Amino acid sequence: MTETEKELFIITLYTNYREYLKRSARILGADPMDADDFVQDVFLIAMKKADILMRRKDPRVWLVKVLANHMRNYRRRHENRFNCSLEEYGDFPAPKEVEPLWHILPSQFSESEQQLLIWRFEEGISYKEMSRRLGISENYCRVKLCRLFKKYRELMGI
């Protein structure tokens, strides 16, 4: 069989049996949204196995069996997952306000040094952008920050 014939066969099956399979999925316990997803999955499987399906006398039976097996496998995979409601644990405390970086920097840093550290660690600005703002090369910007890290470690005794 050619690919075109297989596609036409699957399209015909989809048109004829989609609603039937959705009702079957609902009877087997799926909610309406999941039923539609299960049916779509069944037709994806049918597309992969079109050669086998085309040789069947009644492809509807095959589709229903695949649907039932797919739903059962889905339930097996998901039944062992741990589910709990966050309401059981009550209210979570609000996250603590993070102190701005300039509050915790040693006073020995100049304003320009503090600004460089703030750009990098609070604002997440790249070396390229910092070098553009300062009018220096990107490499020199990296060197300046490296020296600031060293100075910080010395001042903090790290």
CB atoms within 10 A of CB 89: 8
- Determine, yes or no, domain membership for 41: yes
Is pLDDT above 70 for 47?
yes
Mark whether 55 and 107 lie in a shared domain.
no
Q: Specify the pLDDT at position 105.
A: 76
Give the residue with greater pLDDT, 123 vs 99: 123
Q: Specify the pLDDT at position 75.
A: 86
Q: How many domains, in total, are found in the chain?
A: 2
CATH label of the domain that carries residue 124: 1.10.10
Q: How many alpha carbons lie under 13 Å from residue 39 in its C-beta half-sphere?
A: 25
Mark whether 27 and 59 lie in a shared domain.
yes
Q: Tokens 């690919």 map to which residue?
A: 3
Give the residue with greater pLDDT, 154 vs 22: 22
Is pLDDT above 80 for 111?
yes
CATH label of the domain that carries residue 26: 1.10.1740
Model pTM score: 0.50
* Residue type for position 133: R
Q: Specify the pLDDT at position 44.
A: 92
What range does the domain containing 135 cover? 101-156
Q: Answer yes or no: are the C-beta atoms of 9 and 50 closer than 8 Å.
A: yes
Cα separation, 141 vs 135, in Å, equals: 10
Residue 9 phi, psi dihedral angles, 5° rounding = -65, -45
Contacts of 157 (CB under 8 A, 6+ apart): none
